[in-house]
Structure 1
Amino acid sequence: MSFGMLAACGVSTPPVATDVSTPAAPVSSEDAPKAAPETNKPVTLKWALWDLKSTAYYKPLVDAYIAKNPNVTIEYVDLGSADFMTMLSTQLSGGADLDVLTIKGIPGYANLVKQNHLEPLSSYIASSGIDTSLYGGTTEQITVNNEVYALPFRSDFWLIFYNKDLFDKANVAYPTNDMTLAQYDELARKMTSGSGANKIYGNHYHTWRSAVQLFGILDGKNTIVDGTYNFLKPYYELILKQQDDGICQDYATLKTSSIHYSGVFYNNQVAMMNMGSWFIATQIAKIKEGESLSTNWVLAKYPHPDGVPAGTTLGTITSLAVNANSKNKEAALHFMKFVTGPEGAGVIAATGTIHAITNDDVVASITSIDGFPTDAASKEALKTTKTYLEMPMHEKSADIETVLNECHDNIMTKNTTIDEAINDMNTRIAEILK
C-alpha cells in the first residue's frame, strides 16, 4: 500500500535490485560540493531495503545525499518485501555487514530491538539537534525502555474520502476538517438514500478491525495492547447501529462476498469512507484508467471523539535504523538523519510519497501532483496533529492481533454480543500478557 507509485513518472528509474551477496553498483558523485558527516574520507554504506525497482524514492534520496556528500557511496541491498523483516533479522544475526536498515512494521522492529541489532539513537538525536516533535508523536510510540532505535521517514495515515457529487445531489453540506464522531454519524445518516441497486450508503467500513476498533484509541487514554478493552464498547455500538439502520453495508455480506472497499467508492455507492492515505494514489490512477467513476472526490480529516483535537488520526510508519555492529556508524547515522529529516522529506514528497514529516512544503509538493483534489480542504486534510500507530510497540503484538481480529469478526457478524466479545478479549489477552 503505497502513495509512492503516484508520481513514478518524472523520477529516475532505480538500478536493478540485488541480493545480499551481490549488491548493486555503488551510487556516487564526483563533481558535487563537499559536505559532512565529519570527514571527507571515502566511505561505502550498505542500505538494506525492499522493492528497489518499484519504489520511486530510493534513488532520488541517494542522489540528493551524495550531491552534498561526494565521499559517500551507497550500495542497495534488496531483501524483497514478502519476508523482509525475517530476512533482515537473519542477515544481522549472521553478521552481514549492513549499515543502514529500513524497518518495516512494529513487530519486526520490536524483534530487532530485543536481539540488540539496532543502534540506540537518543544520544545522537540530542547531539545532532534532531527535532522529534516533527514526527507528530510517533517516536514516542516506538520508544523502548526510554530509548529510540529508529526514526520514521514514511507515513500513511487515515482520513475520510468523500464523493462531492453525491453531496451536491443531496444538497447536504460537505464534511469538514473538524468532525466529531457524532457529527460524522449525523452526516452519514443524511447522505443515506434509495434502495436496491440505487442505494447510496452514508459511509463505509472495510472489514479490517482497524476501520472500527481504532476510533477508540484516538483520545490517547487507551491502546490496543493494554489488555482491557471495555473502552471499545461505545464505538461498536455506534457502528452496529449504523449497520442495523442501513447507513453502512452489512459486514457479513462484505466478508462473505469479498467486496473490496475500492469498488464501493469507485461505483458511487458510498458518500464517505474512512481509509488510509495509500488509497489516494490508487484512486487517482483508477480515474485516469476509467475504472473509478467517482471522479469528483475530496478528502477530510479523520473524525474524532469529543475533546480530541482535529487532525488526530491512525497511521503506520516506515523507519530507518543503523546496525549496532556497523563499521561505518558515523556515516550511517548522518545518512539516516538526512533521509528522515526535512531535506529527505522534500525529496520523498517530490515523488508523491508522504514523508513522516508533513510540513507545509511537503504537503504543497504532494498536493501539486496531477489528479490530487484541487480544493483547499483536501490539502489541509493532509496535515495531522497527532498520529497513533495502528499496532503500537509490544513484544506480543502478533498474538494480540489474532485475538482482536477474531473478536472483531464475532461482533460485526453478531455471532456474539459486544459484551461477550469484549470479555473474550479481556480474558484471552490477559493470558497472553502474563
Structure 2
Amino acid sequence: MKKRTLSLALACAMVVTSLAGCAGSTKGTTAGSSEGTKEETKQAETTESADGKTVLKWSVWDVSSTTYYQPLIDAFEKEHPDVKIEMVDLGSTDYQTVLATELTGSGSDFDVVTVKDVPGYMTLVNKGVLEPLDSYIQSSNVDLTQYKGLTDQIKVDDKLYEIPFRNDFWVLFYNKDLFDKAGVAYPTNDMTFEQYDALARSLAVDTPGQEVYGAHYHTWRSAVQLFGILDGKNTIIDGKYEFLKPYYEMVLKEQEDGICQDYATLKTSGLHYSGAFAQGNVAMMNMGTWFISTLMEKIRTGEYTDCTNWGIAKYPHAEGVEPGSTLATITSLAIPSNAPHKDLAWEFINFASGKEGAEILAATGTIPAVMNNTVADLVSGADGFPKDDTTSTDALNTSKLYLEMPVNEKSSEIETVLNEAHDAIMTGSMSVDDGIAQMNEKVGAILGQ
C-alpha cells in the first residue's frame, strides 16, 4: 500500500522559518578549478560554522506543518550548545527522488537524512550513499530490542543503514455508540480472528436505510492480505501465498453476508476510509494510527458528528499469536556516506530515535518508533484522544511489529502483482485459489524461483 508520511500532530502546526539556500551544494564542476575552490570554501563556511557553532544539516519535508521537528532540535541543541541543526525542506511529493538525486550528485553536505519508506531506503542503499550504522550502534550500546523486531527487517546484507524514529502501526478503530446501541461489549486487546468475525457479525444491521456494517475493509490489499503475516511465519515477499486463503475467505464471506461493504462498490465510488467511518454506520475498521490525528481534528472542528464516541483496540490475531502483533510503516534517520560530521550526526540520530526523542515526539501526538508505557501515556494524554479508556491506551503498546513491505530489491514489482490479484479476488473475477496461484506464479518468476 501507499506509504504514509502523515505525522500524528495533535497540536497546532509550528511555523518554522525556512532556511535559505539549496541542499547538496557541489564542491565544484572540475577538480582544482577556481570555481571549485570557491565552492569548497563556501561549503566549509556553511557546514562548519554559524555563530561559532558546528552546523548539522538535516533533510526533511513539510517543515511548516510538522510539529515534532523543532522540539527535537531544541532539546538536542540544549544538550549540545556548540551545535546548530539546520533543516532543509525537500518537499513531500517527490522527497525520496529528490534526496536520491542530492546524494548521488557531485556532492552533498547533509549530515542526517530522513528516509521516508522502505523502497526509498533500498534505493539509497543500492546506490551506496548511506553509511552503515552497526559500529555506531555497538559503540553506543543501543538496545535494538526496543524497536520490537523492526531493525531486523531493515538489515541489508546483515547491516543497518537507518534507524527508525517514527512508527505508524495498524489498530482496530471502533464506534462505541454502535456497540452501545446493540448492547454488545467493546472489542478487547486480545481477540482472535474468529472472535473478531463473530463480533462483527453481532453488530451488523441490514435494515434498508439504517444499515450498520460490523467491519470495514478499505480497498488496499494491506487491509486483508497482511492479516496473514502476523504469526511471523510468512512475509508478503516469499513467493508462496497459500497462507492468505483463510483471511480472504473470512472477508469475502462477510462481504457476501452484508457484514462489510462490497469491495467493488467501494472501488467504484472511491469512498475513502475516513469517509466510511465518519458516516457513523461502521462498527469496526482496521486502519493505521495515522488516522488518529485526522479523526480527532475532524471531530474537534465539527466536521465529523456521527463517530465522536470512538476507541481503538489492538489488531485481531491468529490463534496462538501474541496480542499486539501488528503491521508497521516506519520513518527513519540515516547518515550519508559523504556526511561532513558523521560522529555528531550519529549523536543526533541516537537521541532522536531513542527514548528521549520518543517522549518528545509523543508529546506532540506523534507515534515514535520506541513505544513504552511513558510514551503511550503522552500520546493518550493529547487533546481528543479517548479519555478514561484503558483499552485505547493499552492498544498503543505493541508486542511485535512486521513491515507491510519488507526490504527487497524487487518490492515494487511484487507490489504490482499482489495488487492485481487482490483486486481480482475481491471483485469476484477470480477465485481465491486462482488468485493465490497467480500470485505464486508471477511473484515466483520475479524472484527467480
Aligned positions of 1:192-271 closer than 5 A: 192-271=204-283
In the alignment, which of 275, 294, 305 is matched to residue 318 of structure 2?
Answer: 305
Q: Indicate whether 1:7 and 2:10 are aligned.
A: yes
Q: Which residue of 2 aligns with 1:423?
A: 437
Q: Secondary structure at the match of 2:64?
A: coil
Q: Which residue of 1 aligns with 2:379?
A: 366
Within 2, Cα distance between the matches of 1:132 and 1:231? 29
Q: Secondary structure at the match of 1:197?
A: coil
What is the CA-CA distance between 1:309 and the residue it aligns to? 0.3
What is the CA-CA distance between 1:228 and the residue it aligns to? 1.1
What is the CA-CA distance between 1:17 and the residue it aligns to? 5.6
Q: Secondary structure at the match of 1:405?
A: helix
Distance 1:333 1:118, change over 3 A: same
Q: Indicate whether 1:60 and 2:71 are aligned.
A: yes
Task: Tell whether the 8 Å contact from 2:90 to 2:98 is kept in structure 1 after alignment.
Answer: yes
Which stretch has the larger CA shift, 183-192 or 79-88? 79-88
Amino acid at match of 1:386: K
Aligned positions of 1:315-334 closer than 5 A: 315-334=328-347
What is the CA-CA distance between 1:89 and the residue it aligns to? 0.9
Q: Secondary structure at the match of 1:202?
A: coil
Within 2, Cα distance between the matches of 1:367 and 1:2? 20
Within 1, Cα distance between the matches of 2:73 and 2:342? 17
In the alignment, which of 348, 355, 364 is matched to residue 342 of structure 1?
Answer: 355
Distance 1:12 1:254, change over 3 A: closer
Task: Tell whether the 8 Å contact from 2:24 to 2:108 is kept in structure 1 after alignment.
Answer: no
Distance 1:122 1:253, change over 3 A: same
Amino acid at match of 1:77: V
| C-alpha distance after superposition, 1:215-237 (max 9, x if no partner) | 01000111001111111111101
Q: Which residue of 1 aligns with 2:94?
A: 83
Q: Which residue of 2 aligns with 1:157?
A: 169
Distance 1:395 1:18, change over 3 A: farther
TM-score normalized by the length of structure 2: 0.91
Q: Indicate whether 1:110 and 2:130 are aligned.
A: no
Q: Which residue of 2 aligns with 1:37?
A: none
Q: Which residue of 2 aligns with 1:406?
A: 420
Within 2, Cα distance between the matches of 1:400 and 1:182? 29
Q: Secondary structure at the match of 2:416?
A: helix
Task: Tell whether the 8 Å contact from 2:24 to 2:102 is kept in structure 1 after alignment.
Answer: no
Gaps of 5+ in 1: 31-40
Task: Tell whether the 8 Å contact from 1:14 to 1:56 is kept in structure 2 after alignment.
Answer: no
Q: Secondary structure at the match of 2:214?
A: strand
Amino acid at match of 1:418: V
Within 1, Cα distance between the matches of 2:257 and 2:355? 47
Task: Tell whether the 8 Å contact from 2:108 to 2:339 is kept in structure 1 after alignment.
Answer: no
Q: Which residue of 1 aligns with 2:35?
A: none
What is the CA-CA distance between 1:3 and the residue it aligns to? 6.1
Within 2, Cα distance between the matches of 1:353 and 1:125? 24
Task: Tell whether the 8 Å contact from 2:124 to 2:130 is kept in structure 1 after alignment.
Answer: yes
What is the CA-CA distance between 1:6 and the residue it aligns to? 3.2
| C-alpha distance after superposition, 1:31-80 (max 9, x if no partner) | xxxxxxxxxx9421111111111111111111110000011111211111
What is the CA-CA distance between 1:114 and the residue it aligns to? 1.1
Within 1, Cα distance between the matches of 2:441 and 2:19? 46
Amino acid at match of 1:426: N
What is the CA-CA distance between 1:4 and the residue it aligns to? 3.2
Q: Indicate whether 1:391 and 2:405 are aligned.
A: yes
What is the CA-CA distance between 1:150 and the residue it aligns to? 0.5
TM-score normalized by the length of structure 1: 0.94
What is the CA-CA distance between 1:13 and the residue it aligns to? 2.5
| C-alpha distance after superposition, 1:269-288 (max 9, x if no partner) | 11111010011111111111
What is the CA-CA distance between 1:289 and the residue it aligns to? 1.8
Task: Tell whether the 8 Å contact from 1:106 to 1:393 is kept in structure 2 after alignment.
Answer: yes
Distance 1:261 1:5, change over 3 A: same
Within 1, Cα distance between the matches of 2:74 and 2:14? 10
What is the CA-CA distance between 1:125 and the residue it aligns to? 0.7
Task: Tell whether the 8 Å contact from 2:8 to 2:292 is kept in structure 1 after alignment.
Answer: no
Q: Secondary structure at the match of 1:147?
A: coil
What is the CA-CA distance between 1:16 and the residue it aligns to? 2.1
